[in-house]
Amino acid sequence: MSQIEKLAIRGIRAFSPDREQAIEFESPLTMIVGANGCGKTTVIECLKFGTTGQAPPGSASGKAFVHDPKVTGVSEVKAQLKLRFKNYGGQRMVVVRSMQLTQKKTTATFKQLDGVIRATKPDGSKTSYTHKCGELDKTVPIMIGVSRAVLESVIFCHQEDSSWPLQEGAVLKKRFDDIFDSARYTKALDVLNKQKKGLASKAKDISGDLKGLHADKVAAQDHLKRKASAEKAIQSADASIKACDDKQGSLRDEKSRINDKLRKLQAQEQGLQECRAEVDGLERSLKYLEERLADSALMDEDDDVLAATAARLQEEEDSQFDIIRKLEREEGKHRELAEQARKEASRVDGEKGSAEAEKRRGEAEVSDLRDALADAKGDLDDTSDAYARLSQALSSSEPLDRDVAALVQKTLETKGEELAKEEAETEKQADEALRREESVVAEKRNAVEGAADEVAALAPKVADAERAQREADDQLRKLRNATDASLTQAKKKVEDQEKRLSDFRSERGAKTHDTVIKKCVEDERRLADEIEETNRSLGLLEGNEDDERELGVLEHAATQALDRFSEAYSRDAADLREAAEDYEQDGGSGAVVPEPPPVEDGPEFADRLKSLISSAKSRLDDASKTASQRNASTTADERSAQQAEASARASQREASRAVDALPSDTRAKLAAIKKKCAALRDAEKDAAQHLDEDAETEDDVKAVDELYKAAEDLNVFEWARIDKGDDDLALETLVATPLAQSKPDAFQATATFVRGIASVVARRKESATLLPGAMEYLLDKVRTKPNKHTGCKMCPVCKRDFEDNEEAQKTIDRLDKVVKKHAQGVGAAFTDLTTSCAEIQGELDALEPQWRAWVATLQKKVLAEKDVDDKRSAASSASDAAKDAANSLRDAEASSVKASSSYDKACHLADLGASLRDAVHARDAKKETLDRVAQDAGTGGRRSRRDITRDLKRLQDEKEAAVNKRAQAEKDKAEGLQQENAMISRKAEASKAVSDLEQQLAEKRRWEASRDDAAKTKRDCEKREKDIKADAPQRKAALDKAKRDQEEATSQWTARKKKARSKTNGAKAAAYAVKQAVAQASRGDKRIADAEKTLAELQETKARFERDVAEAEDAAADVNAQIADASKSEDTRMLEKKEVEGVLEYRAQQKKKEACEEKLRRAKDQEPDQDDEFAGRSQQDLSRRLSRITQELERVAAEKGEHEGQRKQAREVAREHANDLATARYKGVEERHRRAMIDKETTEMACKDVDLGVPLCRDAFTPSTR
């Protein structure tokens, strides 16, 4: 049993917040006695607050429950109460609750702090727990063992709430329910009824779901059967495809062997063609060499003789070349020595210039000494010995004596020291005078600053006084309403409140609510009798309670069926109607499907949609099959086109191999020849520049220009583009484009240019060889044989005298130019050009057969590539057709899948409509049965149990209204009491306002006195500040006069110090300048002597280097003459060597021709290989067999493509069924169907159990039995 032992209070109501007061409760009873207002009610409020956390009524949510802060003059009060009790287990515990009230200017804030529970264990140890306020309010009643409702309404009921038994019925019922805790029994009954309804609804839902799961289970089994059939078709197609692959492998092996044989035969034929082409080229080359060497005497010589002659010529050429190279190196060495000697001479000239500049610098330094001494003369005293000797030395033209300079330097240094002593004395006197002036200024400044400091010290005092005035004014403004008049008005208000209270009590005594309360009691009794009569009528229908429940279940099932159908109908009906109409318009009868009717007619509309979509699904399935067949056909066509493309690619590769079998350097050789042609063109133009202007006629020059222009137009000199790029570009650039423009191809154009340039070189070589000899003869005549009669130079051709020496010199220069050009090797250049032309022509003749074979083979390759492009285009078209067919198949399959989805939705909607019809029919049948039973029972005709229950509820509502009306009357009576209490409270507030005004008037008088004191202090401070400011101008004038005296003294002494320092610095500077000039003059004397010595040595060295240059140039000229003599016989030896090499080349090509002819004879006489399976079969037979194999491969490929199409279609079918089985609808459908069956049975069993338990619970917890 729990027991309250002790209560400690601090800061609650009138209890002091600074001291804790405790009350101990004795057993079995404690009486609390005291006068009004001593705190008896506060103790009860504290017990209630400590146990429940409930603040007393009228306490403004706890603000009036805590001690008022204004009474103690603080802004915050903290309150606390401690309650010690024994819990229902006998354990001693203490509850500590803390509160805080904060007073602001106009509002107060109440706050509960966290509470503490301390428990004392049996062993004497203590444990503390901190709780939030809400948790503490729930925990303490549990520990005491009494509910919170009993604590609030019974044990610690406040005196202002003691009339709660007179409240209205609903409020009173709720409070009694809380006290007796009777609500949980009603809740248990409601929970059982809700569970019963929920289980019945769940059972109905599970039954509906079970039907759908059963349909899904059947559909899943159908998907499994179709998937197994598709997998069987896949296995059959795989076997057929494997047979086709085996057949294709054997055919490809035979085709590969035939291709190898054909390539071997083609390679042999190609080799023979190359030999024949090489023989033809060698015959043309031999013919050219025979024509070129027809007049040569070496044609009849033996090969050994020719080889010996060639070796001898080569040895002579090498020996002569070594001699020339040696002489050229010797000449270069002499010229290098001469150049080195020139450089050394130039270097000596540079050093000589440097030495001369150094000498001039020394002379300038010596001359600077005289200038320095002349400048220092002004700083000497006129009477000094140094001044007299310096004047004499400066007036003389002789070099200055260095002793005079030393004397002047010493005299100036002595004078500088004397002046420095005078300057130090002057500075000392100036410092003493300035210190005296500075002390006077400091004294005057201190007087001014002292006055300013006193003024500044007065400012805070004035500010404090003003702040005190403002504070007093603020307080007085707040208390402006506290006047004698307001006090008189407040006292009058108290008297008015007393009068109103007296009048209200007189008026309330004349009114009463007893009549209304009595009438309400009579109505309650009459309604109770009618309710009892209705209950007896209801008892007659208790036997039909099962039928009523069944009707409720059927109504619930019909409602659920309607909800499910309405949801599906609103979601899918419009889409299904649109889909059905689209199907009808696309391939059906074209009928227009009407808009969905209301939900009542929805089941019939759903049946029609199901029929329309079913027929559309059949049509789309047929279209999908047709598209699948077309897809298989186009796939076979695509494979045939791809095989044709592969055959064309094989032909292309064979042509490419034929091109690869050709000599790989054909284009490279032609590019090299073109490169040589470009070099030949440049060399010929360079050689032509050295010809005389009159060496060629205008027609010759024009013919050469036309030859070069034609070669440029035919791209003869473009060799880089030919050597690179692919074969198509090469054939297009080198052959096709020129022939299309009626121009020779690259080879013919190059050969034409070489022949033309050879004739040009031959003609210019003749001119370059004959003309210079004649010009040299004429030049000698002009120079050495003048006219015997006149003595003037004359023309050796026309024997005419030149008009003057200028004309003669022009002629000599022109002839000399021609001779020099020949001497520079013009003839040898044209000889080299002739040799180059012959070499290039020989290379062209040797390349011509190879070129023709390359062009023919390359043309075959280009034709094969074009055929590949055509076959590729055909294959691309077939591929596009196959893609279109595949897209059509995908579209058809997508349409079929979409139709299937729509069909499923339509079936689901139709099934829901059928379920709705069945549920409505069952509900109506049960309702008719119950109506007949009610009529037979005599309950008012066709009154059902539901109607009787409705009447019973109406009577109960009327009775409750009467109870509420009576409670309202009682409430009005209680409110009258509350109004009287409120008037008493207003009277107390008015009395308190009178007391507050009296306190405010006293405070107002105190603040007025404080304001007057602050005003007096401010006036005193302002008077003192005014006096100080009046004397300020005199102090300022004295300070300004002291500063002016200080500045004047400073200026005078500064001028004297500056003058003394200027004299001292002048004497020192003059002495330093003389000293530096003397040292510089000494360095100048030494620099002059060194420079003169160096100049003499450099002059001798330069003369030696000039002699070396002359000797080296003479030696180089001698060696150059020897080189010219050694080069004269070079041309004759080169011509003889070319002739010998031509004869040897002719005989080598003749031997090569004989070898090729022998190879052709051996190939013609060769016997076939007997071990070859294709021995004796021609290329035509092998080609025909290859064509038949290709056709057979195409047929097998088409057959294989058909089987692959069937397999692909079967895989699609299997994948579709597998995907359907993997969806959430069919995945685990058998297990879900089994679980749904279990859930249905268990739910129905639980519903029956609950149905049996509801009457038992009603009987156990009805108010009469309770």
The total of other beta-carbon atoms located within 10 Å of residue 687's CB is: 22
What are the beta bridge partners of residue 112? 99
pLDDT at 663: 59
- pLDDT tens by residue, 149-172: 888 888 888 887 888 888 888 888
**pLDDT at 736 > cutoff 60:** no
CA 670/CA 687 separation, integer angstroms: 25
Alpha helix ranges (H) inside 1166-1228:
1179-1222
**pLDDT at 1048 > cutoff 90:** no
CA 24 to chain centre: 78
594 preceded by cis ω (within 30°)?
Answer: no
pLDDT at 46: 93
Helix H or strand E encompassing 567? helix 545-587
pLDDT at 1265: 33
By CB atoms closer than 10 A (0-12, 13-18, 19+), residue 67 is buried
Show Cβ contacts of residue 1169 under 8 Å, excluding neighbours closer than 6 positions: 1175
The total of other beta-carbon atoms located within 10 Å of residue 1105's CB is: 17
Q: Percent of the chain at pLDDT above 70?
A: 77
CA 463/CA 469 separation, integer angstroms: 10
CA 854/CA 973 separation, integer angstroms: 132
CA 1204/CA 1182 separation, integer angstroms: 32
Q: Is 116 helix (H, G, I), strand (E, B) or coil?
A: strand
pLDDT at 94: 92
CA 987/CA 501 separation, integer angstroms: 9
Token pair for 547: 């039928």
CA 872/CA 866 separation, integer angstroms: 10
CA 685/CA 454 separation, integer angstroms: 114
Per-residue confidence band for 1266, with pLDDT thresholds at 50, 70 and 90: very low
Show Cβ contacts of residue 152 under 8 Å, excluding neighbours closer than 6 positions: 48, 52, 54
Closest residue by Cα to residue 937 from 1229, 539, 598, 1203? 539
Name the pairing type of β-strands 115-120 and 92-103.
antiparallel
Alpha helix ranges (H) inside 377-483:
385-395, 402-478
By CB atoms closer than 10 A (0-12, 13-18, 19+), residue 136 is buried
- pLDDT tens by residue, 262-308: 777 777 777 777 787 777 777 777 776 777 677 776 777 777 777 77
C-alpha angle with apex 237: 235 to 242, nearest 5 degrees?
95
Rg (CA), the chain: 70
pLDDT at 22: 92
Instruction: Identify which has the larger pLDDT, 174 or 188.
Output: 174
pLDDT at 774: 56
Show Cβ contacts of residue 283 under 8 Å, excluding neighbours closer than 6 positions: 1153
- pLDDT tens by residue, 1171-1221: 666 666 777 777 777 778 888 887 888 788 778 888 887 888 888 888 888
CA 995/CA 563 separation, integer angstroms: 75
Per-residue confidence band for 335, with pLDDT thresholds at 50, 70 and 90: confident
CA atoms within 13 A on the CB side of 967: 15
* Most confident stretch, 754-768, 869-883, 1041-1055: 1041-1055
CA atoms within 13 A on the CB side of 146: 19
Write the DSSP symbol of residue 773.
H
Helix H or strand E encompassing 6? strand 3-10
Closest residue by Cα to residue 563 from 602, 506, 526? 602
CA 772/CA 778 separation, integer angstroms: 10
CA 405 to chain centre: 87
Contact between residue 719 and residue 678 where contact means Cβ atoms under 8 Å apart? yes
pLDDT at 973: 66
CA 776/CA 818 separation, integer angstroms: 8
Contact between residue 677 and residue 718 where contact means Cβ atoms under 8 Å apart? no
| Residue 313 one-letter amino acid | L
pLDDT at 1263: 43
What are the beta bridge partners of residue 99? 79, 112
**pLDDT at 9 > cutoff 90:** yes
pLDDT at 1261: 45
CA 1207/CA 240 separation, integer angstroms: 10
Q: Residue range 903-929: average pLDDT?
A: 78
**pLDDT at 965 > cutoff 60:** yes
CA 1166 to chain centre: 76
pLDDT at 82: 93
**pLDDT at 849 > cutoff 50:** yes
pLDDT at 1262: 47
**pLDDT at 1053 > cutoff 70:** yes
- pLDDT tens by residue, 794-811: 776 565 666 677 777 777
**pLDDT at 668 > cutoff 80:** no
Instruction: Identify which has the larger pLDDT, 962 or 35.
Output: 35
What are the beta bridge partners of residue 101? 77, 110
Instruction: Identify which has the larger pLDDT, 29 or 687.
Output: 29
Work out the mean pLDDT of the chain and round it to a whole number. Answer: 75
Write the DSSP symbol of residue 182.
T
Instruction: Identify which has the larger pLDDT, 1157 or 551.
Output: 1157
**pLDDT at 247 > cutoff 80:** yes
| Residue 443 one-letter amino acid | E
pLDDT at 728: 54
Alpha helix ranges (H) inside 115-182:
133-144, 148-150, 169-180
Q: Residue range 13-17: average pLDDT?
A: 87
Instruction: Identify which has the larger pLDDT, 948 or 989.
Output: 989
CA 169/CA 174 separation, integer angstroms: 8
Q: Percent of the chain at pLDDT above 90?
A: 2
Token pair for 638: 């695509």
**pLDDT at 432 > cutoff 50:** yes
Q: Residue range 587-591: average pLDDT?
A: 68
pLDDT at 12: 92
Contact between residue 77 and residue 101 where contact means Cβ atoms under 8 Å apart? yes
Q: Residue range 557-577: average pLDDT?
A: 80
Closest residue by Cα to residue 715 from 736, 734, 732, 728? 734
Q: Residue range 711-734: average pLDDT?
A: 57
Question: 945-1030 and 514-540 helices cross at what angle (nearest 10)?
Answer: 140
| Residue 55 one-letter amino acid | A
CA 151/CA 50 separation, integer angstroms: 11
- pLDDT tens by residue, 996-1036: 777 777 777 777 777 777 787 877 787 877 777 787 788 78
Question: 945-1030 and 169-180 helices cross at what angle (nearest 10)?
Answer: 90
Per-residue confidence band for 599, with pLDDT thresholds at 50, 70 and 90: confident
pLDDT at 1257: 53
**pLDDT at 465 > cutoff 60:** yes
Read off φ and ψ for residue 722, nearest 5 degrees.
-75, -35
Q: Residue range 1066-1093: average pLDDT?
A: 75
Q: Is 86 helix (H, G, I), strand (E, B) or coil?
A: strand
Query: Taking the C-alpha atoms of 924, 925, 929 and 932 in order, what is their torsion angle to the nearest 10 degrees?
Result: 60
CA 543/CA 548 separation, integer angstroms: 10
Q: Residue range 235-257: average pLDDT?
A: 85
**Does the reported pTM lie above 0.85?**
no
Query: Taking the C-alpha atoms of 425, 430, 431 and 435 in order, what is their torsion angle to the nearest 10 degrees?
Result: 150
Q: Residue range 612-626: average pLDDT?
A: 77
